[in-house]
Chains A and B, each alone.
Chain A
Amino acid sequence: MMRKKGVPVLVGALLSLGVTVAHAGSLISPPGSFSKSTVIAGAKLFADHCSACHAVSNLRYNRLAIDLGMSKAEIKKDIMLPSGANYLNGMKPAMSQAEAKKWFGIPPPNLSHIVRAEGEPWVYTYLTSFYWDPTRPSGWNNRVFPEVAMPNVLASWGGIYTKSGKQLKAGSESPAAYHRQVAAIVAFLRYASDPSIFAREALGPYVLGALVLLSLVSYLLKKAYWKDIDDRRDAEGHINTSAMPKNKTKPDDT
């Protein structure tokens, strides 16, 4: 019962670990679940709509086969759209950096780590927060990233809105389908910034299972040895250790 003394320290430690640094503003988490099929769908949408300008240079095309189980033919047909894309190399943009800089003023960033850096809610909210702003050179502005250089490339799906939320033009997709597709792109980017995720989740149960087994067996081992001590309690709870058996595991331990 004296053991409880360590508890406040432990609770303090856990409290301080659980606190995360929150992003400013109200951000929306992407709807739907994170799975291999969502990520594959997102990868295809990304290739269609984003890889014209954005690289995912740390993610090699063949990782999509290793991690997601896509076939090489499928990757070549649906993902490796930019010319010069090499199956063994990182995902490249169609547009060269110099060209992109000419068009947008700054080169579009490599998106390999964007979800790890900004978080899924930020990326999702950003992608769905464009509004029409004639004062901007591109005609677009963004609620979470004011004066962004990027135009709203998804406007044909989602429609065009003003800052106050008035619809100027309807999108080709229903709002639900549009949000699902944006969520799929975000899911792909989440995978891209942490490609070990599926391997980790597949291996995790086995690793934990083995370690729980090890904990269990070593607990029984500890119990078996501590029997010497637990069996020798006198009425006051003291243990006469000097009367303990000379229990050596090996004869040469002495």
Chain B
Amino acid sequence: MTVQGQKEKPDMARRRFLTRATTVVGAAVAGTLAVAMVDSLEPTAAEEAGASTVVNLTPIEPGMQLTVPWQKKPVIIVNRVPDMLTTLKMVEAKGLLKDPNSNVPQQPPYCKNQYRSRKPEWLVMVRICTHLCCIPHYRPKKASVTPWWLGGFHCPCHGSMYDLSGRVIKGSPAPHNMAVPEYTFAADGKSVTITKMYPKAHLC
């Protein structure tokens, strides 16, 4: 209770303080509710459960590829033969690559190698050109794109070129190597589970 009798002047300082206190507590309540409300628009558990994809590798013959949808994106899985793996050394030797050592984190650390993969023969990569998001053609045959072509990916939109590890070739408009998602092989090596996007990688 406040003191009675002070008829003319209301206690403005008290009012100001209480107005501020109510505003602060009210804003805290409203803010907390707003955070929960926005959070509800995050991907649901159902989306997260559908996020990883298991791909059976047995039907992919040596030298062949399979492109599967994963999180609404095409992922290419190539079973590379030794011949194809030697071309990776050749493009490096010729100095054709923008980022031969994959220094830009376009792949999980365990794929930062010449093959850009966990196992040399298996390439698992998001098949999206880092220039403007087109799907590059898979051109494994030598001289199929240019006379010096050793095999790789060629983008139909603006002509970006990549080697068979998805490393971008100098002179392409694309800035980075193609992105590699996070994945694990089953113990028996017969299937691969693509789990999530490597957080630092840029798609396009």
Contacts and interface: CB of A to CB of B under 8 A. Distances in A.
Interface of A: 60, 62-63, 86, 88-89, 210-211, 213-214, 217-218, 220-221, 223-225, 227-228, 231-232, 245, 247, 249
B83 interface: no
> How would you classify the secondary structure of chain B's contact residues: helix, strand, loop or mixed?
helix
Contact of A249 (B8, B15, B25, B52): B15
A60 B25 contact: no
Contacts of B8: 245
Nearest to B15: A224
Given A214-B26, A214-B29, A88 B19 contact: no
B147 interface: no
A231 B9 contact: no
A217 B10 contact: no
Q: Top 4 closest A-B pairs, CB basis?
A: A88-B49, A221-B18, A214-B25, A217-B21
21 contacts: A88-B48, A88-B49, A88-B52, A89-B49, A217-B18, A217-B22, A217-B25, A218-B26, A220-B21, A221-B15, A224-B2, A224-B10, A224-B15, A227-B2, A228-B10, A231-B4, A231-B5, A231-B6, A245-B9, A247-B12, A249-B15
Contacts of A213: 25
Nearest to B50: A88
Interface string B49-80: 10010000000000000000000000000000
Contacts of B18: 217, 220-221, 224
A179 B110 CA distance: 53
Interface of B: 2, 4-12, 14-16, 18-19, 21-22, 25-26, 28-29, 32, 45, 48-49, 52
Given A60-B49, A217-B18, A227-B2, A245 B10 contact: yes
Nearest to A206: B32
B28 A210 contact: yes
Contact of B22 (A60, A88, A221): A221
Contacts of B12: 247
A228 B29 CA distance: 29
A132 B2 CA distance: 76
Contacts of A89: 49
Most buried by A among B12, B21, B52: B21
Contacts of A63: 45
A217 B48 CA distance: 42
Contacts of B16: 249
Contacts of B5: 231
Given A211-B29, A249-B15, 5 more contacts: A88-B48, A210-B32, A213-B25, A227-B2, A231-B6
Nearest to A210: B29
B116 to A, nearest CB: 27
Contacts of A224: 2, 10-11, 14-15, 18
Contacts of B10: 224-225, 227-228, 245, 247
A232 B9 CA distance: 12
A227 B6 CA distance: 10
B7 A231 contact: yes
A86 B10 CA distance: 67
Contact of A221 (B7, B9, B19): B19
A60 B15 contact: no
Nearest to B32: A210
Given A217-B25, A231-B4, A60 B19 contact: no
A214 B22 contact: yes
A63 B46 CA distance: 12
Contacts of A225: 10, 15
Nearest to A62: B45
A61 B198 CA distance: 25
Contacts of A62: 45
A218 B7 CA distance: 23
Given A217-B18, A220-B18, A60 B28 contact: no
B51 to A, nearest CB: 8
B100 to A, nearest CB: 38
A218 to B, nearest CB: 5
